[in-house]
A and B are shown apart, each in its own frame.
Chain A
């Protein structure tokens, strides 16, 4: 199943590439500066967080001297969360929003989440290069250890895609899923230590934090970028297992319901 899906996606790589290109072009269509906005928006975001939290509010991370510490902590988590939530919320609606295409053109349906994946990776790539530039300028670049972020991000992507495609498939039949996800993501964000630190939580809740798969992921990234610390791989075991289970479940649901998707759109 996975092999076949892979082959199909590879055969349609041209279409995926063209769709991603089109998506970016569509976003900045009719603007004068085009691609510059793709950089300016995340740049503005990073500047706001660093300026507001580091300079104005003088937020200090417990155990960190640097005035940039909190900004780095915030960005590391926030940018990863941004990718996760973009990936998840867009894959949930991807079949419904492309109903017109699916009903009239024969194409492997999994190309649609693939388009979402590629375009959110590009977005993440843009903001991460800005973030890296910021780290280099402030002299806080952690060095080779950033490479350990790659497996962490892969776990996050698999988790988001597995959940996204599973929910996306169900969403075709019960559109409530998409609505519900909007609500869930709000709570989920604040239940994940992105803005605050885990230690700020009462002990009883912090103890159960590992259940939230996004905690392990975000925590690992924060460690890499703030302290240059290699992730404790044990904390990623649970998210990885969950991601694997979700992908299996998503592919099974897809195999069973894939044919009915077009009938229901």
Chain B
């Protein structure tokens, strides 16, 4: 129960040059359409109880893959075999009739999920309690906020533990507290043996829920491996796309990954025109793999330019263990300029700062861009070394104990007050 076997699945939509083309095809003329592939040759094997994230840019084919797995859309090639009951949350609130009350809609959705009226009746209390929308449960759904619809939909879909749970972006709609509640339930299911398939753009969620991730790009599986690796590659792709840079080789994209970038971590890329020679964190001019919180440190990036650039910029990024960027900036963002460079020019950029970081492990990622644009952005990314340097931060024994992303340095006041007296009769 809960296994998922996907072999060579592809999906192509038919595109007709003319509306009449399809009719002519029906009447026996030759093919008059071209196929537009949105998913190609996807193969996945998911074991019961495994949690797998599917990540990728918009239009990468994530939703299509999920729709094929749930059976909403039929694949053009390949096969999908699933075992056990699937509960899918592809865009919530659907199937809800706006004129009916939440309760009436629960019966409808439950029926659609194959439950009997008696079963729905039996679970009603649990569904109501989890959705936690109070009296609204007996109001028409049209009076609901989108958040309330999500609450109800998630509650119905997960009333009974499924063997396979498929969650699309949907949860992004709910408020933070409800999201936490959902994740708790998802974790509960996962621990009880439910196979989880999760699509999200929130990489920290992916990281915390799934040990394995599948990166889809332009309809193909680019990487199927540990979440961290897939997220790194995803981030690198996104960074490169955003900068409209030339298609440089990205480590991880090519399984044979040989060549200049071969030894670098997943998500790095470079070009012939510039080379990031070294990246390191220094404390008192000594390379530091371990620092104490609040210490004065310096991120040093050594770059060699192999081409002419009028206004290149260098930047860095600090990321925590969960892969979240804690901080990033670059020379242009700081209002500085390296100035024009000629081939063969070596540049060292140092960013000095006080390491106000929570205890834990961090990595430094460095990048070079070809030109700054107004507004503090950069035009196109030339090279990037992903997780080039790792270091750990120990707690500053002289500071407060804290955790999180940012130290708010709170001031705390505790006012002593008289012990509570039983209030006088009014």
Does A33 have its Cβ within 8 Å of any Cβ on chain B? no
Within 8 A of B (CB), among A84-109: 100-107
Contacts of B73 in A (CB 8 A): 259, 262-263
Distance of A141 Cα from B114 Cα, bound (Å):
44
Does A174 have its Cβ within 8 Å of any Cβ on chain B? yes
Distance of A185 Cα from B99 Cα, bound (Å):
31
Q: Given A15-B111, A174-B23, do A22 and B72 touch, yes or no (CB 8 Å)? A: no
Contact (Cβ within 8 A) A14 B117:
yes
Q: Which residue of A lies closest to B23 (CB)?
A: A174
Would you give the 0/1 interface string for B108-141, flagging 1 where the beta carbon is closer than 8 Å to chain A? 1001101111000000000000000000000000
Contacts of A241 in B (CB 8 A): none
Contact (Cβ within 8 A) B94 A105:
yes
Does A232 have its Cβ within 8 Å of any Cβ on chain B? no
Contact (Cβ within 8 A) B94 A100:
yes
Within 8 Å by CB of A106, from B19, B70, B117, lies: B70
Does A248 have its Cβ within 8 Å of any Cβ on chain B? no
Q: Count residues of A near B (Cβ-Cβ below 8 Å).
A: 25
Does B353 have its Cβ within 8 Å of any Cβ on chain A? no
Contacts of A5 in B (CB 8 A): none
Distance of A26 Cα from B104 Cα, bound (Å):
11
Q: Count residues of B near A (Cβ-Cβ below 8 Å).
A: 27
Besides A18-B107, A25-B100, 5 other CB < 8 A contacts? Answer: A14-B114, A100-B94, A106-B71, A174-B23, A259-B73
Contacts of B107 in A (CB 8 A): 18
Does A173 have its Cβ within 8 Å of any Cβ on chain B? yes
Within 8 A of B (CB), among A10-57: 11, 14-15, 17-19, 22, 25-26, 29
Does B13 have its Cβ within 8 Å of any Cβ on chain A? yes
Q: Given A101-B94, A104-B90, A260-B14, do A22 and B74 touch, yes or no (CB 8 Å)? A: no
Does B45 have its Cβ within 8 Å of any Cβ on chain A? no
Q: How far is the CB of A170 from chain B (nearest CB, A)?
A: 9
Does B254 have its Cβ within 8 Å of any Cβ on chain A? no
Contact (Cβ within 8 A) A29 B99:
yes
Does B97 have its Cβ within 8 Å of any Cβ on chain A? yes
Q: Given A22-B100, A262-B72, do A105 and B112 touch, yes or no (CB 8 Å)? A: yes
Q: Is the interface of A mostly helix, strand, loop or mixed?
A: helix
Q: Which residue of B lies closest to A11 (CB)?
A: B114
Does B91 have its Cβ within 8 Å of any Cβ on chain A? yes
Does B22 have its Cβ within 8 Å of any Cβ on chain A? yes
Q: Which residue of B lies closest to A263 (CB)?
A: B13
Q: How far is the CB of B409 from chain A (nearest CB, A)?
A: 48
Within 8 Å by CB of A26, from B19, B70, B97, B114, lies: B97
Q: Which residue of B lies closest to A257 (CB)?
A: B26
Q: Which residue of A lies closest to B117 (CB)?
A: A14
Q: How far is the CB of A55 from chain B (nearest CB, A)?
A: 41
Q: Which residue of B lies closest to A259 (CB)?
A: B74
Q: How far is the CB of B14 from chain A (nearest CB, A)?
A: 7
Interface residues of B (CB under 8 A from A): 13-14, 19, 22-23, 70-74, 88, 90-91, 94-95, 97, 99-100, 104, 107-108, 111-112, 114-117
Contacts of B74 in A (CB 8 A): 258-259, 262
Contact (Cβ within 8 A) A104 B72:
yes
Contact (Cβ within 8 A) A104 B95:
yes
* Closest 7 pairs (CB-CB, A-B): A106-B71, A259-B74, A18-B111, A104-B94, A14-B111, A106-B72, A15-B111
Distance of A106 Cα from B164 Cα, bound (Å):
15
Contacts of B111 in A (CB 8 A): 14-15, 17-18
Contacts of B117 in A (CB 8 A): 14
Distance of A29 Cα from B116 Cα, bound (Å):
24
Can you show 18 pairs from A to B with CB atoms below 8 A apart?
A14-B111, A14-B116, A14-B117, A22-B97, A22-B104, A26-B97, A26-B99, A29-B99, A104-B72, A104-B91, A105-B72, A105-B95, A106-B71, A106-B72, A107-B112, A173-B22, A259-B73, A259-B74
Distance of A11 Cα from B114 Cα, bound (Å):
8
Q: How far is the CB of B108 from chain A (nearest CB, A)?
A: 5
Distance of A15 Cα from B116 Cα, bound (Å):
9
Q: How far is the CB of A48 from chain B (nearest CB, A)?
A: 30
Contacts of A104 in B (CB 8 A): 72, 90-91, 94-95
Distance of A86 Cα from B115 Cα, bound (Å):
30
Distance of A258 Cα from B74 Cα, bound (Å):
9
Distance of A104 Cα from B14 Cα, bound (Å):
20
Distance of A29 Cα from B140 Cα, bound (Å):
11
Distance of A101 Cα from B116 Cα, bound (Å):
20
Contacts of B88 in A (CB 8 A): 106
Distance of A258 Cα from B70 Cα, bound (Å):
16
Contacts of B70 in A (CB 8 A): 106
Distance of A173 Cα from B21 Cα, bound (Å):
11
Q: How far is the CB of A100 from chain B (nearest CB, A)?
A: 6
Contact (Cβ within 8 A) A15 B100:
no
Contacts of A174 in B (CB 8 A): 19, 22-23
